[in-house]
Structure 1
């Protein structure tokens, strides 16, 4: 079974397994808003021709997510992340004019251990979509955009339950992605978009250590 099929199947099984618990604990249900700050560490290749690090560089990646808790332990939510990336060293480290960002959005399924304890670990899996852009030169005269699926990601964290409605703590996530489309613009010419050929596609990984604050609404 490929990663593209395994992660959604695992999320479905966890949802089905949690339905009895959700029915028994209606008082634990409700919405939660999460705010995160993370450092994005790239690994792997963006395409056959270039590594992910040499394309977008590392990133500072704030994120917001909105989740629904079926019980005090199980939640399903949507997230949006706006990563401000450093760009490739050869273009951006010596005062060159460049900008780079990585947008990621999708869904997460999380399980919270000991949700009523002061120290409450949690784990989760998810899938999503990723769009990375690199602009170089005045007015981004050279602009590259790559986009494709986040085939699956997993994260683990430890919450400190400050109150029943407020938790804060560290986490780390790892996502496996593959770009399938690219766009290129040079100077004032029109942007050219195309699918990436199968033999040019590569897998890449984002490792993200960070901190999350979550508010139960």
Structure 2
């Protein structure tokens, strides 16, 4: 056998050997994913002692974005940011009032059947929460702010795999939090911030059903 036919034959053989390795790498499922969610937040419990969370902030309409890294097609770790818009319970037409609830943190999710059309998933995470309420209008505007940790949350959902890269489906989450800092501002006075006393702290829960669209990048 001459050198000329030997070289193309060797190149072809090495190429065929490389194909399974490339295919295995492509099917590993690792990479980034962008998620967009629409959720409805239902508050349970007290913001601080004897102060209902629903009267402080109310139910929220809460869009969320999250960016995750998939280690494989099953396991992902990522960060999220949520901006909730609400109106506190007890507000009347005579009084202008509104509230906002911001939440951000990290999630660890596990997808049970990523290759199937229906893929259930389960996740846990921790984060931070900041809520604010405004009552009245200038110059009689009063503000209240509360900040604290999301001590832990869990969420469960079902993905309908529209394509290999796009999935959409319902989910529900529940988070346990506690506020540790209180900020107030009455009319045009300067803002006042204090730590919530230990005996006034209270645990609260946010329950959020919603829908998520996730795109693998």
Q: Give the aligned partner of residue 80 of structure 1.
A: 81
Which whole-Å CA distance do the structure 1 matches of 2:151 and 2:26 have between them? 32
Distance 2:87 2:97 in 1: 9
- The whole-number CA distance in structure 2 between the counterparts of 1:86 and 1:138 is 15
Task: Sort the Cα spacing of 1:93 and 1:160 in 2 relative to 1 into closer, same or farther, 3 A.
Answer: farther
Aligned to 1:170, the other structure's residue is in SS state strand
Query: How many residues were matched structurally?
Result: 192
Shift of 1:93: 3.6
8 A contact 1:25–1:71 mirrored in 2? no
- Contact kept? 1:142, 1:187, Cα under 8 Å: yes
Task: Determine the structure 1 residue equivalent to 2:108.
Answer: 109
RMSD over aligned CA atoms reads 1.4
Matching residue of 1:43: 44
Cα distance between partner residues in 1 of 2:95 and 2:41: 22
1:213 aligns with 2:213: yes
Name which one, 1 or 2, has greater alpha-carbon Rg: 2
Q: 1:72 to 1:95 in 2, by over 3 A?
A: farther
- Check whether the contact 1:26–1:70 (CA below 8 A) recurs between aligned residues: no
Which residue of the partner structure matches residue 123 of structure 1? Answer: 122
Once the 2 structures are TM-superposed, how far is the Cα of residue 97 of structure 1 from its aligned partner?
0.8
Q: What is residue 201 of structure 2 aligned with on the other side?
A: 201
- SS of equivalent to 1:199: helix
TM-score of the superposed pair, with normalisation by structure 1: 0.86
Superposition pairs for residues 11-50 of structure 1, below 5 Å?
27-50=28-51
Deviates more, 1:135-144 or 1:57-66: 135-144
Cross-structure match for 1:143 = 143
Q: Does 1:67 align with 2:47?
A: no
In 1, the alpha carbon distance for the partners of 2:84 and 2:63 equals 6
Whether the 8 Å CA contact 1:126–1:154 is kept in 2: the answer is yes
Question: Where does structure 1 differ by over 4 angstroms across 4 or more consecutive aligned residues?
Answer: none
- Structure 2: segments with no counterpart, 5+ residues: 1-24
What is the distance in 2 between the residues matched to 1:104 and 1:36? 13
Task: Please tell me whether the aligned partners of residues 180 and 195 of structure 1 are also in contact (alpha carbons under 8 angstroms).
Answer: yes
Partners of 2:94 and 2:77 in 1: CA distance: 43
Match of 2:13 in 1: none
